């Protein structure tokens, strides 16, 4: 049974209304990207569950509806359910009457699914005793009644994992979450090593070092006098302006790629003065631009 052709890849543009469903049930063909989709929902703040038994879905929906936090939930139901899968259509209709729900069906061409199984060397859920293509066709036939119920359909044949995440974000991420990324801005001293969790590292040792001025030696870059001294050099403000503009440009691209956090580290020799001031200034600029920013200074108290 070949994949039905009457339904095209769902288009999810910025003009489309954002889904506000409290419960999203992800289903579809094995190898179509269901786990990638579930991780995307988890990054959007959904409570995520893989392979929940069908018999427990109504109870799970009740818990979601009654939760004081009203946290949205996403779960995967697929061919691994076996014979219980036949109960799904009736169960979903009942759940949808009680709770705002969306059934998301992921699919791909048979040849693409076969290639993905070959690349990952994983057996098809219907068993390794049959040829993969035979199992794919059997699965498609078993899922046909569920596919007809789908509120949302995505063909992942030509999508990579990043594009699939973007499609899901575009449909289920509210406009208010446009800057949904947590940025960690750190300062550090190169003499103590580069923080291993850094995504971006900037070396600010080209700036004049306040450590050589006796009255600044025991202070940090957070002290007003030290901060004024470092800011007094034109290269300081030019660096802050240029790096701020670069990061404000980059962050939306990271968000579109599905990145939920980014660690930016600024390093000087000891992590006491220059890197502290720069990290603080960048934190202010990014916060003003609307991003969630957390600031830390690893080595500021080391002497």
**Number of structural domains, the chain?**
2
- Residue 292: beta bridge partners? 182
Dump pLDDT digits (tens) for 116-134: 988 877 888 887 777 889 9
- Residue 264: beta bridge partners? 185, 200
Dump pLDDT digits (tens) for 169-197: 878 875 445 446 889 999 999 999 998 88
E strands within 117-260?
Answer: 152-155, 182-189, 200-203
Taking the whole predicted model, whether its pTM rises above 0.75 is answered as no
| Same domain, yes or no: 195 and 100 | no
- Check pLDDT > 80 for residue 253: yes
For 61, the domain range is 23-177
How many angstroms separate the most distant Cα atoms in the chain? 80
User: Is 216 within 8 Å of 225 (Cβ atoms)?
Assistant: yes
- Check pLDDT > 90 for residue 270: yes
Q: Is 289 left (phi over 0), alpha (psi -120 to 50) or beta?
A: alpha
Look at residue 284 and tell me if it is in a domain: yes
- Check pLDDT > 70 for residue 1: no
Dump pLDDT digits (tens) for 59-111: 888 777 665 556 788 999 999 888 888 989 999 998 888 888 899 999 999 99
Look at residue 239 and tell me if it is in a domain: yes
Place of tokens 């000087």: 268
Q: Which of 281, 265, 279, 269 is nearest to 217 (CA)?
A: 269
Quick one: pLDDT at residue 66? 65
**Residue 254 or 260, more confident:** 254
User: Is 204 within 8 Å of 239 (Cβ atoms)?
Assistant: yes
User: Is 137 within 8 Å of 1 (Cβ atoms)?
Assistant: yes
Q: Which of 123, 143, 132 is nearest to 27 (CA)?
A: 143
| Same domain, yes or no: 171 and 198 | no
Least confident of 33-47, 58-72, 93-107, 234-248: 58-72
Q: Which of 80, 78, 85, 76 is nearest to 127 (CA)?
A: 80
Look at residue 3 and tell me if it is in a domain: no
Q: CATH number of the domain at 168, please.
A: 3.40.50.300
Of the residues 126, 152, 177, the one at which a domain ends: 177
Of the residues 132, 154, 177, the one at which a domain ends: 177
């Amino acid at each position: 049974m070949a994949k039905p052709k009457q339904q095209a890849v769902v288009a999810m543009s910025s003009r489309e209304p954002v889904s506000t469903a409290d419960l999203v049930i992800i289903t579809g063909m094995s190898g179509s990207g269901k786990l990638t989709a579930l991780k995307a929902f988890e990054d959007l703040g959904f409570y995520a569950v893989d392979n929940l038994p069908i018999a427990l879905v109504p109870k799970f929906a009740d818990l979601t509806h009654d939760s004081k936090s009203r946290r949205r939930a996403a779960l995967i139901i697929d061919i691994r359910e076996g014979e219980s899968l036949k109960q799904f259509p009736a169960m979903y209709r009942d759940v949808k009457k009680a709770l705002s729900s969306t059934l998301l069906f992921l699919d791909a061409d048979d040849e693409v699914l076969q290639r993905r199984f070959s690349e990952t060397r994983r057996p098809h859920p219907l068993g390794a005793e049959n040829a993969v293509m035979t199992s794919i066709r059997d699965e498609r036939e078993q899922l046909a009644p569920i596919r007809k119920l789908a509120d949302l359909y995505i063909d992942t044949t030509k999508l990579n994992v990043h594009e699939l995440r973007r499609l899901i974000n575009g449909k289920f991420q509210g406009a208010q979450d446009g800057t949904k990324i947590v940025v960690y801005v750190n300062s550090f001293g190169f003499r103590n090593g580069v923080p291993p969790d850094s995504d971006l590292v900037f070396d600010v040792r080209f700036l004049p070092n306040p450590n050589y001025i006796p009255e600044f030696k025991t202070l940090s870059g957070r002290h007003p006098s030290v901060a004024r001294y470092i800011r007094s050099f034109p290269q300081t403000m030019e660096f802050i302006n240029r790096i701020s503009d670069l990061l404000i440009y980059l962050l939306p691209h990271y968000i579109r790629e599905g990145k939920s956090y980014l660690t930016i580290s600024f390093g000087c020799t000891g992590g006491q003065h220059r890197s502290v001031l720069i990290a603080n200034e960048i934190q202010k600029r990014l916060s003003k631009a609307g991003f969630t920013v957390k600031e830390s200074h690893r080595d500021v108290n080391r002497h």
